[in-house]
């Protein structure tokens, strides 16, 4: 316990770590808020989304899709204004910004989006939901359960439609803030790396590591106390950042509930473990480790849309697997699912992704340390 408390104290007092993991995200968030506040106030407002539906040559028009889109309403306001047209006209409407998206019905239904943003997210989510259900619907026709599935289908579509907007944030900058939280969480890697190096007799902190390793403290409790301390600090910082966004910057985060705080714990642990893993596997000089760690965090955050808004959507459309495995996207997506979409399935999927990552990072770290110890041990022979 003493060891843990001193560890917390040390991490908390480390000015460099404190700056990068908390001050920097807060400053960046403030900058975002100040820079884009005009856009926020001016541009938001729920409007019906114009979409064009077209059918590839030789394919049958999907009447069910058109009816589905036209039927979707938020109270009295229609979600979508649907224009059925030929492919050329649809492309022209998209390029002239008359519609947000073009849905091309063919052997495979394709969505063409005009630009990234909340409207695009809504179109993609709704169409994905529709296509998923459509597969089930068609399968039911083959298995003779058509009536049952039709009823369920209607309910599901209605639920999906409501879910898209109920509790949704009205702040179009939310994706930046989500990516920022993801980045801040992944900065926990700095704590993990620092902890890892303090048990590495080849690091800059070799003398401290030597002193600790020469003591009768067992390695596993030491590592666990280190992880617990780093996690504590990182989680407190997560709470501070959330509080700052909500109370000071007045960012509309959507629905806030207990799951966000549970998620925050997972994000914090995730960040710390990334640092541990880098420290355990890459036994190079610390500047190389730091460069690798910062590069990983920044590239991951970039892919999650920190620098280019809506990049997540672009990746989702072109290479969805990247979003399924990118740490920062998993964090940002889970917040999007939880607070904006209120989609617990998607939240659970993201959390499972984070959990798998955490387990993988622990396994790799332990193996890296274990292999090194085994290699060391094998060399000690009594002759």
Partner 1 sequence: MNTVVKIENLVKRYKELVAVDHMNLAIEQGEIFGLLGPNGSGKSTIINCLLSLTSYDKGEITVFGEKMRADNYSVKGRIGVVLQNVAVFDELTVYENIDYFCSLYIKDKAKRKELVKEAIAFVGLEDFVKFYPKKLSGGLLRRLNIACGIAHKPELIIFDEPTVAVDPQSRNKILEGIQELNRQGATVIYTSHYMEEVEQICSRIAIIDKGQLVATGTKEELKSMIQTGETIRVEVPEMTDEVLFGLEKLSHVLSVEYNEGLATIKCSGGRHNVLHVLEYLNNTETSFGRVFAEQPTLNDVFLEITGKELRDEVQ
Q: Characterize the bridge pairing of strands 101-105 and 110-113.
A: antiparallel
Burial group, residue 229, by CB count within 10 angstroms (0-12, 13-18, 19+): buried
Name the token pair of 319.
């290479």
Burial group, residue 106, by CB count within 10 angstroms (0-12, 13-18, 19+): middle
Region from 4-12, 31-39, 309-317, 320-328 binding partner 1, contact rule CB under 8 A: 4-12
Burial 32-54 (b: 16+ CB within 10 A, else e): bbeebeeebeeeeeeeebbbbbb
Compute the least distance from the CB of residue 69 to partner 1, in Å.
Answer: 59
- The residues in 11-30 that bind partner 1, with binding defined as CB under 8 A, are 11, 13-14
Query: Is 377 an interacting residue with respect to partner 1 (CB under 8 A)?
Result: yes
Residue 328: which of 311, 346, 348 has the closest Cα? 311
When binding is defined by CB under 8 A, the residue of 38, 142, 147, 214 that contacts partner 1 is 214
Query: Is 215 an interacting residue with respect to partner 1 (CB under 8 A)?
Result: yes
Compute the least distance from the CB of residue 27 to partner 1, in Å.
Answer: 23
Query: Is 366 an interacting residue with respect to partner 1 (CB under 8 A)?
Result: no
Region from 9-17, 61-69, 72-80, 102-110 binding partner 1, contact rule CB under 8 A: 9-17
- On whether the CB atoms of residues 90 and 123 are closer than 8 A, the answer is no
Compute the least distance from the CB of residue 368 to partner 1, in Å.
Answer: 17
When binding is defined by CB under 8 A, the residue of 3, 24, 44, 244 that contacts partner 1 is 3
Determine the number of helices (DSSP H) and then strands (DSSP E) in the chain: 17, 6
Residue 173: which of 80, 240, 249, 100 has the closest Cα? 249
| Integer Cα distance of 81 and 93 in angstroms | 13
Query: Is 371 an interacting residue with respect to partner 1 (CB under 8 A)?
Result: no
Q: Is the CB of 18 or the CB of 36 nearer to partner 1? A: 18
Query: Is 283 an interacting residue with respect to partner 1 (CB under 8 A)?
Result: no
Chain centre to alpha carbon of residue 334: 5
Compute the least distance from the CB of residue 200 to partner 1, in Å.
Answer: 11
Query: Is 213 an interacting residue with respect to partner 1 (CB under 8 A)?
Result: yes
Q: Is the CB of 34 or the CB of 217 nearer to partner 1? A: 217
Compute the least distance from the CB of residue 11 to partner 1, in Å.
Answer: 8
Residues in the site for partner 1, rule: CB under 8 A? 2-3, 6, 9-11, 13-14, 201, 207-208, 210-218, 376-377, 379-383
């Amino acid at each position: 316990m003493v060891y843990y408390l001193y560890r917390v104290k040390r991490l908390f007092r480390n000015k460099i770590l404190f700056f990068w993991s908390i001050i920097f995200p807060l400053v960046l968030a403030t900058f975002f808020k100040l820079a884009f506040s005009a856009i926020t106030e001016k541009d938001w407002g729920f409007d019906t989304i114009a979409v064009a539906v077209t059918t590839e040559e030789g394919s049958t028009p999907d009447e069910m899709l058109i009816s589905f889109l036209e039927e979707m309403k938020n109270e009295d306001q229609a979600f979508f204004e649907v224009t059925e047209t030929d492919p050329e006209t649809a492309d022209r409407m998209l390029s002239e910004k008359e519609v947000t998206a073009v849905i091309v019905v063919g052997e495979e239904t394709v969505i063409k989006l005009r630009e990234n943003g909340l409207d695009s997210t809504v179109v993609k989510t709704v169409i994905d939901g529709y296509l998923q259900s459509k597969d089930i619907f068609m399968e039911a026709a083959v298995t003779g359960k058509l009536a049952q599935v039709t009823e369920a289908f209607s309910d599901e579509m209605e639920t999906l439609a409501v879910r898209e907007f109920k509790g949704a944030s009205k702040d179009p900058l939310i994706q930046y803030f989500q990516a920022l939280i993801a980045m801040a969480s992944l900065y926990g890697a700095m704590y993990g790396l620092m902890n890892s190096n303090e048990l590495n007799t080849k690091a800059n902190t070799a003398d401290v590591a030597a002193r600790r390793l020469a003591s009768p403290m067992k390695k596993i409790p030491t590592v666990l106390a280190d992880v617990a301390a780093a996690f504590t600090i990182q989680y407190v910082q997560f709470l501070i950042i959330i509080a700052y966004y909500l109370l000071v910057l007045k960012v509309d985060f959507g629905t806030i509930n207990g799951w966000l705080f549970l998620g925050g714990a997972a994000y914090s642990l995730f960040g710390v473990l990334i640092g541990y893993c880098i420290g355990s596997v890459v036994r190079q000089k610390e500047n190389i480790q730091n460069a690798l760690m910062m590069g990983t965090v920044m590239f991951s955050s970039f892919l999650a849309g920190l620098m280019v808004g809506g990049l997540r959507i672009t990746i989702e459309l072109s290479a969805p697997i990247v979003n399924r495995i990118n740490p920062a996207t998993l964090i940002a997506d889970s917040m999007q699912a939880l607070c904006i979409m209120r989609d617990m399935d998607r939240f659970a999927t993201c959390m499972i992704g984070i959990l798998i990552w955490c387990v993988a990072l622990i396994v790799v770290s332990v193996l890296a340390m274990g292999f090194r110890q085994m290699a060391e041990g094998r060399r000690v022979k009594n002759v």
